[in-house]
Amino acid sequence: MNIQLSIQNLSKRYKTGDGVSDISLDVQKGELITLLGPSGCGKTTVLRSIGGFLEPDSGDILIEGKSVVKVPPEKRPTSMVFQGYNLWPHMSVHDNLAFGLKIRKIKKKDREKAIQDVLELVRLPGAGSKFPAQLSGGQQQRIAVARSLLLNPAVLLLDEPFSALDAKLRHEMREELREIQANTGLTMVFVTHDQEEALSISDRVVVMNHGNIEQIASPQEIYDAPKSLYVAQFIGKMNFVKGVIDADQITVGSIRFPNPSRLSGNVTVAVRPEDIILDQAGGSGLPGTVKQIMILGHYAEVSVDVQGYGTIRAFQARDQINELSNGQSVSVQFAKVIAYP
């Protein structure tokens, strides 16, 4: 595949000390990649540097093999969708969409066809005569996406575009964005602090921490094999218990696991709630007491007090918890674990 966007040793530091250092990342043509991390980790700094709204201290940014570091934002082959919709309230949807095309001196006939096509693509045919105030938040965000698509960018940049929407709308917009991306083959760089959002729409996820990249991998790999303790803590729910390496095995109480990373001494053992096995008959695992059972739709979250290890949370199928009750004694086993030094 062709590399559509190449970020090479990018650094940008502010007087506060925030920013990014030595960021390198290649994005393939047609790929949707997400920069994920908490506020202040540097993800928006990277995005705005790509768009030309920030000038890096050092490093290079290449789009389709050409450096754009010295190119102003309006002349870069990029387009950005912001958190706010940035639609002109006094202009109709049609005029909002036509504005950028007029500046580019696109002929009226071609302009009208492009607007009609893009409104179909974002599932708002016939909305051209409406004004932004007549649209819902989700519809306004679709128009903002449509406006960016009309500019036919080499790279579409999205800065937390769905964060102002409610949970149901956010979910719908993610699906629609993925569908638009599949239909257009556009290269997209998406920024979010929402891990569920990142895992659900991305081809690859870039997890950032204090201006550095912690891990770049597919959503599945990020979830199943977090490279560092930071990524394990940030992505999904996770139980953390103290373990020790004994006879080259990871040991938590009576439970033993292989030690493929050749760790030594004391370790932190990470276990997903879905990898916790609860044995009501009492087995060879860690003895515990059921503290709380929360029904979460098709599954339940069971909190177990385990002496010496604190509270361990387990996801259990609804039909497996019928015989469980608060105060009940259980044995806790781990299906699989990841250990960190």
**Percent of the chain predicted with pLDDT > 70:** 98
pLDDT exceeds cutoff 70 at 85: no
Residue 142 has a pLDDT of 82
Quote the pTM value: 0.86
Please name the fold of domain 237-340.
OB fold (Dihydrolipoamide Acetyltransferase, E2P) (2.40.50)
User: Which fold would CATH assign to domain 3-231?
Assistant: Rossmann fold (3.40.50)
Residue 171: the pLDDT is: 84
Residue 205 CA to residue 227 CA, distance in Å, equals: 13
Q: Classify burial at 28, counting beta carbons within 10 Å of its beta carbon; exposed 0-12, middle 13-18, buried 19 or more.
A: middle
Residue 240 pLDDT class (50, 70, 90 cuts)? very high
Burial class (CB in 10 A: 0-12, 13-18, 19+), 21: middle
What percentage of the chain carries pLDDT values higher than 90? 44
Average pLDDT for residues 71-98, to the nearest whole number?
Answer: 85
User: CA 166, CA 236: separation in Å to the nearest integer?
Assistant: 20
Strand 266-271 relative to strand 338-340: parallel, antiparallel, unpaired?
antiparallel
pLDDT(26) > 90: yes
100: tokens are 């950028």
Is pLDDT of 1 > 60? no
For the segment 96-107, the average pLDDT, to the nearest whole number, is: 83
Query: What are 86's two structure tokens?
Result: 């940035």
Q: Where are the domains of the chain?
A: 3-231, 237-340
Ranges 94-98, 164-168, 329-333: which has the least confidence? 164-168
Write the DSSP string, 182-222. HHH--EEEEEES-HHHHHHH-SEEEEEETTEEEEEE-HHHH
| Interval 126-181: pLDDT, tens | 888 888 888 888 788 888 888 888 888 999 999 988 877 778 878 888 888 888 88
Helix extents (H) in 59-136: 93-103, 108-121
